[in-house]
Structure 1
């Protein structure tokens, strides 16, 4: 059979439906083979003629990009005979550089989510895509029609919108932006006058943030965390980070100095910083930051938060110019100056005035994102909605039609830094869905269009005669070289007088959620059960208060409080957060969804409508505060250890090494892990990567409340000295040399293997839980119920969820104890590869799921019998220590201590 050429398309919009049952039959039979992209239906191969790369069943990697808030993150997706099973970071992509975030890791569950819409619906009745195309043509032909999209980062989609507007002079295009990337700030007076700040971390020695959270959730998180962690490791003695913020953030937890500042006082902090740089007096924290900036002139910058007034942004811009800050100012990825683009803030007046009588919504959910104001304004407007599932907007629409998931689609995307990538499908569409590109062509009166051909048309016009080579290279690398990025010169004007924003006693800071972003990921069970980094809350949001404010109001941890603002009131459980500024209430966005499928509906409360000033009232009732960790103090124990720059060595406790048990003897390799708590930012990427890799089920809020969560790695948070915030410590299985779980097991299900792993024999376990009772680290998880299959059947999607699972890892049933295995399936794959090639396993050849996901590169894994391995060198660090080492368990998972300012340690 001749070899396949290029990356053909399995996802062409030619009117042919690929239903879920048919797709699953192809999975089971192994009929869909992949080589360098998704295959055309006419080129699908029978299994008996599978090419060499697929004959062994080995996984194949494909480069693509996944959107987050419209921006690309470069990824490599692992595929097993036509099924995507794991997302990895693309080391060649500037916006990921090999790392991932929790949202990218959870896209597999979003792809196979049984609650996705399966076919177009009008008035509760299924309709054909031909009927959808006719409805769209009629809508565009009439006056008063508008298009609302999310942030468009696709050059092809932008080109199509431009062509549509040229052909339809009366059509208006509105863009709704939900979760803005970190460091995207205003650049002028208009709502679309924005710029993306991009610091050169490799050239920075001093950074001050004023309400900014570059390490926080969003499409820039992976690149920012990667850059910061590299700077921290390379110049730990000289690199300094200062954070001034109202509510603790991930950036604040990693700062050398963190100062709580109310939102209204951030402008004053910027003025004090300017004065201190000019030699004036300033409060001690500001003065210290100014000295660090001055000492690092040319290698220093100030990063502003997104909500600062224009005059403060102008002042910060002046400071950065004076410091010669190594930082670029770029046009945001979603901004297309050649197109007439309107901000969604102007949509509601247009709806109320009758200028817009018909609204086509493509990949957005304004009924939730824009709140009651949109619903009131759009009460008499005809809505046509395109999205992954029936959400709040779809429920009000006259027509709702489903879109492809990005892993089913051809497209292109720009990342936050402007890098362009191609998006290629990893699987045939599971449902009767269409690409957003095909929908825009329907609006132009064209049907049966191929999204791949549309993308190729965009890049063919740019690349000319070199198209074939450049296309293949971009598909394989996942990056398009030399795509232009436009610089921005900000022009600030004094802010006009605005209407009062509320008169509440407390400033309200609503942050982007680490779990659901601004609501898009509410239907995702993996993310709903992923603990918030600082509070460890799951399945909902809470109102955070400072300890002083909570005491003044008589509020205890977990009490229900009423938050009131702008005529709205919501009720949330309260949590007391160390390091929060007095007079500030913190909440997280994205909750209180009414229609987010069986997983996300009715979880938490929507705090976006409350505004920036609110009142807080205790209700005298206890709330539901479901958390995976309830105690954050170390109680005098050295759990999360710290050293100083002046004394960088951990105090070595001299505990006895004697043991009743005989010593183990190993041949190389013998595996171990070191986790650097100094650069772990608590982003949770490792938790979701482990969940995806190891088929770990979701258990639900009731089970978590009973202490029955199933994660194989957790990230413990501990209060830092002087109430400045919390630090993080990832805790997988310790794989102890003298493991207490092993002699406790009556059936020898917990055993030590020849590579030093503490292995768990699932089919031997009878569920006594003696091993769990004897584990001082509490890293073993018990399947009280058949979580995996019960979840699948409850969602009526057992077949889809089974297709998502990693075939290299068994799915455990009820009554089995399970835990971290150091990704033994990856170890064995490396063993087999080395054996076939008659060579030893190379250092770094085995990479665990948590290690590969970590954007901070905080995890090192390898052979501890090799003195030259990276893990052995890490264990030789003066910051190295073992958790609870006085117990004599001799864990193979060990840590590097945090490095703190002298007076904090």
Structure 2
């Protein structure tokens, strides 16, 4: 019998449920916590306090094996015997093969940097990639590129793991057998011969959204050779609605480009622009520049309103958030549009008079006409997008905070209509050859337009280019391994149209092919290399744009990098680490036509257009200079799309021309009866549309609001949970106040034992008892404050049956449920009439929301702009703790309060101390949007392992940095969420140091709290004594030491830890040492900004700043001297080197403080104000 059966009270949290009456009383009396992460914490229940006092949750400190003494002795004896045998065996010699001719640019131990780009969902992420001895190991944003300014998102940061993924496809497969690429070319040639007589009438291409000029030119070349062929596009989580909305408003396709740096008021309509979309990195940077309250600057910060149908980072970051059912959303937007005086066909039938809340929002926007903007999200309907454009025109935003440029897509189209047409042609037997380039349409298409086995069989020849043998590859005759973007040549356009060059950093690991090379198989030169294809395009069709931009860039920033090869990648210098304030990074905002400020390239503005010009096929000196400059910088200067004159009323000729007749507005959804359920579909914030499901870094990344890992869920509100009877029911609640439910925790601490649902929509059930594919499939429920009542949000991207060892498959078990099984073409993002049934089953979820708690102390400091103006301190302990920066060269610590800790004696390092470095960090809570890019960047930089779902449920995740999310306000209508990154604080009075018996955690001469891994014996005393809970212990051997490709991925500058070792944030000490070595070579000090930690470098809002506190002119010293600075848990007198800046928001005084508005229920109550 297990001990937990004998003493069950030791292995479960005692059931003392949350009392909502007590919670509300404490909130009203200001006795409860103002900021909270869970209902248990808010109410201060005894079981939550019990969980906190147990430093490691029950079962978390147990080893996974249960080996008894007898078995242990036998295993040890066998191990010694086998070890003796190895001494008698012959070990084959291992040889190291040196270079025949050492490349001049490769120096062992010294990194090279290459500019490239990651194409992604209708745009790209401009990148600067660090490479060691030919191995790309770390991705950063390209600080020269106007779409990045040095930042990168979670997908770009995790892309290195995708490159070295051992589950990637490694062979060309033809009908289940391995074939050579020449065999593929031979069959394609035969198929094309059969198509010539009918001009390609049976040839169809299906791609993702194409923004590559070269690939677009290749496709047009194929269509010229075969006029009857068709090119279709499909993106399951793209901006199709946005494109149709512009066309509906203006009569043709165009791309809106926003300038948040010039906006005083922003209205977001179901848009998560701070985290998602091709322009998210630049938009977040510009928006944060207007939300940063700085001493001496009395300019009002920007105010953000958000109207949304499901919680997002942007919505919870807003000053006022309105939560609506999808069925109420369009009507509410129409009332707002009418209130601001917009003119749109969608308002022809009239709009309801705005209620008091909408009227005040509209009045605030009108009061700031010309300095405001309205942005609609990708998930909003075309009608809402058209209304948003009409509102921008009525508010005078066009030409100031928004401009319209020519489409960045090579073939702008209605992608849903493309898919519908292709499905019809397959059903009619009109498709002879189907070529699918990228994507996974068998998995991602809506159920009524599903490219299932029956439809795919109707294509006489089906080809799929994909990095994995996935669901679509399984149903195709040919599967071609696709190269990773770090293995291929290419080009693409950023959100503003800036052409960005892709160059490879490594030879394809598995002999894959790029989309350029596969499409070339259908041209007159079928065996061309990717480099030749891309270079030839820019030598001919794109020559005019390239040379015009190259000349401007050369004149602005010097000559091209000498010695760059024409056939290899062009390396650049290490990235400039000088801190860049928004709009001052070498890519300032400039006029984008009609005086509209918008992001452009770093070069001076010219009138160069985007239409390619045919030039000489012979490269000359001007072309070579421009080509090398583009490779060196990573983009073609001055190549952004031209603005269209007249705003939304005129735009570049799209696929259907500027005179196309706009489609009629979509009919509004009828009002649903009270209590009717609605469904909301969203791409998963970790694995997106499913393409990253086999990436362990992203699977284990806590989702921003729920903090769930490794699964997707059905998200409901507390009131909906009460209606369904799921979750733990609180006792003693006042019935008229509406009792609420909370998520059910288990003894493991952090594991949620969730009930499961059966969802029925349009006659389809999930899980379906009659579908064998749905065996062992569960739809767990998760209760999230702020979710609209009677609305269920599901994220697609999970439930794959051919993903890989990480993402799940039929053999090893699928991960999560497939929300695509409920998605239909007429309800792509939301719909009404959802049936919800509680199954009675349960499912374990790994949630990190209550992991690593900082017990019983206020950690979030926040106030309004009005409060900050009156009292800039905001943080109450600031008056008792003043620490002005020390003069440069003096390695002294500021005066501080009394302490029992012995002070660190820096005189022991007198020689080192003369250098005068005192490293520190400042984190601005006011600008952190919770995107989690810093977590993945830290993981990639510091070789942090993936531990798996079961270990996460035991509070054993290894992330050195966590981003805590603190809710504020009522449990059913929270005012917002405050995101707080928490790395190691590097305390001057570090509690972890004196308790280590082997001196494995030590204090450096520059104030760092260092770890000596080979001293650590795993007592975990340091973790127990850390009040910030930032130390991580290797309970098991989490690192993969055997897979060859993963060995290539690791950063050689950081030690790889093993079982039994404690680890934590090091302030990226390897980067510090590198900068010090380079500075010593030049007999100087490290410059301010020359050292950027991994988390700082990737942060899109510059919320994290690192530097030398002894330099009074450094950014970090100036930030730590701000009046709103405070130290985390300052009452403990640990004197952390990491300081925080209190959050400042700007609510509309006429609407309250941000969230104490009306209820979330259906009917008349619209949500939070």
Q: TM-score, normalised by structure 1?
A: 0.90
Q: Report what 1:568 is aligned to.
A: 765
The answer (yes or no) to whether the contact 1:679–1:858 under 8 Å persists in 2 is yes
Offset of residue 584 of structure 1: 1.4
* Correspondence 1:398-437 to 2 at 5 A: 398-437=477-516
The answer to whether the 8 A contact 1:181-1:416 is kept is no
Which residue of 2 is the match for residue 173 of structure 1?
Answer: 231
The alpha-carbon distance between structure 1 residues 236 and 732, as it changes in their structure 2 partners (threshold 3 A), is farther
In the TM superposition, 1:574-593 aligns within 5 A as 574-593=781-800
Deviation at 1:489, TM superposition (A): 4.0
**CA 1:546/1:497 → structure 2, altered by over 3 Å: closer, same or farther?**
closer
The whole-number CA distance in structure 2 between the counterparts of 1:904 and 1:340 is 42
Contact 1:352 1:377 in 2 (8 A): yes
Report matched runs for 1:606-617 at 5 Å. Answer: 606-611=818-823, 612-613=831-832, 614-617=834-837
- Correspondence for 1:472 among 622, 625, 628: 628
Residues 457-466 or 759-768, more deviating: 457-466
Paired residue secondary structure (2:290): helix
Determine the C-alpha separation between the residues in 1 that align with 2:366 and 2:141. Answer: 37
Distance 1:735 1:631 in 2: 20
Equivalent in 991, 1005, 1013 of residue 754 of structure 1: 1005
Q: CA deviation at 1:337?
A: 6.3
The CA deviation string for residues 792-832 of structure 1, in whole angstroms up to 9 with x for no partner, is 54xxxx11101011110011111100000000000011111
The verdict on how the C-alpha distance between 1:337 and 1:820 changes in structure 2, with shifts beyond 3 A counting, is: closer
> Is contact 2:1068-2:1093 (8 Å) kept?
yes
Secondary structure of residue in 1 paired with 2:994: helix
**Matching residue of 1:597:** 804
Q: Which residue of structure 2 lines up, in the alignment, with residue 650 of structure 1?
A: 874
Q: Following TM superposition, by how much is the alpha carbon of 1:715 offset from its aligned partner in structure 2, in angstroms?
A: 0.6
Aligned-residue CA RMSD (Å): 2.8
CA separation in 2, counterparts of 1:191 and 1:290?
23
Q: Is residue 2:191 matched to residue 1:139? A: yes
2:956 is the alignment partner of 1:708: yes
Aligned-pair CA distance for 1:513: 1.6
Q: Answer yes or no: is 1:347 the counterpart of 2:422.
A: yes
CA distance in structure 2 between the aligned counterparts of 1:407 and 1:673, rounded to whole angstroms: 32
1:669 equivalent in structure 2? 917
**Equivalent residue number for residue 308 of structure 2:** 245
Assess if the C-alpha contact under 8 Å between 2:1127 and 2:1138 holds in 1.
Answer: yes
Please tell me whether residue 333 in structure 1 is matched to residue 408 in structure 2: yes
- How far apart, in 2, do the equivalents of 1:740 and 1:590 lie? 43
Deviations 1:248-273 (A, max 9, x none): 11111211111112222222222322
User: For residues 309 and 108 of structure 1, do their structure 2 counterparts lie closer, same or farther at Cα, with a shift above 3 Å needed?
Assistant: closer
Contact map agreement 2:251 2:649 (CA 8 A) in 1: no
Counterpart CA distance in 1 for 2:234 and 2:188 is 21
CA distance in 1, matches of 2:995, 2:840: 46
Number of the residue aligned with 1:202: 261
1:152 to 200, 207, 210: 210
Match of 1:8 in 2: none
Structure 2 match to 1:538: 709
Question: For this pair of structures, how many residues does the alignment match?
Answer: 858
| Conserved 8 A contact 1:502-1:565 | no
Give the structure 2 partner of residue 115 of structure 1: 167
Give 1:634 deviation, angstroms.
9.2
Comparing 524-533 with 612-621, greater Cα deviation is found at 612-621
Query: Alpha-carbon deviations, 1:551-593, whole Å to 9, x = none?
Result: 1111212221222213131432211111121121112121111
Q: In 2 relative to 1, CA 774–182 (structure 1 residues): closer, same or farther, beyond 3 Å?
A: farther
> Distance between the aligned counterparts of 1:550 and 1:586, measured in 2?
13
Contact 1:533 1:684 in 2 (8 A): yes
Does the alignment pair 1:880 with 2:880?
Answer: no
**Contact 2:212 2:410 survives alignment (8 Å):** no
Give yes or no for contact 1:173–1:342 (8 Å, CA) kept in 2.
Answer: no
1:193 CA displacement: 6.2
Q: Which has the larger radius of gyration?
A: 2
Q: CA deviation at 1:544?
A: 1.0
2:390 alignment partner, SS class = helix
Query: SS of the counterpart of 1:585?
Result: strand
The yes-or-no answer on 1:744 pairing with 2:995 is yes
Distance 1:706 1:424, change over 3 A: same
Match of 2:755 among 559, 571, 577: 559
1:219 to 266, 269, 278: 278
Secondary structure, in 3 states, of the residue corresponding to 1:647?
A: helix
- The separation in 1 between residues aligned to 2:804 and 2:1088, in whole angstroms, is 45
C-alpha contact (below 8 Å) 1:69/1:178 kept by paired residues: no
1:287 pairs with one of 359, 363, 366: 359
Quote the Cα distance in structure 1 between the aligned partners of 2:302 and 2:97. Answer: 52
SS at match of 2:789: coil
CA-CA distance at 1:208 after TM superposition:
0.5
Higher deviation after alignment, 537-546 or 482-491: 482-491
Question: Is residue 482 of structure 1 aligned with residue 534 of structure 2?
Answer: no
1:436-487 deviation per Cα after TM superposition (whole angstroms, max 9, x unaligned): 2111111225343121111111111232453111101100111112325264
> What is the CA distance between 1:528 and its match in structure 2?
0.6
Q: Secondary structure at the match of 2:329?
A: helix
Contact 1:310 1:493 in 2 (8 A): no
Alpha-carbon distance change, 117 to 493 in structure 1, aligned in 2, over 3 angstroms: closer
Q: Are 1:728 and 2:979 counterparts?
A: yes
How far, CA to CA, are the matches of 2:668 and 2:1107 in structure 1?
A: 58
Residue 378 of structure 1 is matched in structure 2 by: 456
Find the aligned partners of 1:875 and 1:442 in 2 and give their Cα distance: 59
How far residue 689 of structure 1 moved from its aligned partner, in angstroms, is: 0.5
Q: 1:183 to 1:658 in 2, by over 3 A?
A: farther
Query: CA contact under 8 A between 1:181 and 1:220: conserved in structure 2?
Result: no
Residue 718 (str. 1) matches residue 966 (str. 2): yes
TM-score between both structures, scaled by the size of structure 2: 0.70
- Say which SS state the counterpart of residue 780 (structure 2) adopts: strand
TM-aligned CA distance change 1:150 to 1:470, over 3 Å: same
Tell me how far apart the structure 1 counterparts of residues 213 and 323 of structure 2 sit (CA, whole Å): 41
1:684 pairs with one of 928, 932, 938: 932
SS at match of 1:568: strand
SS of match in other structure, 1:744: coil
Distance across 2 between alignment mates of 1:637 and 1:469: 60
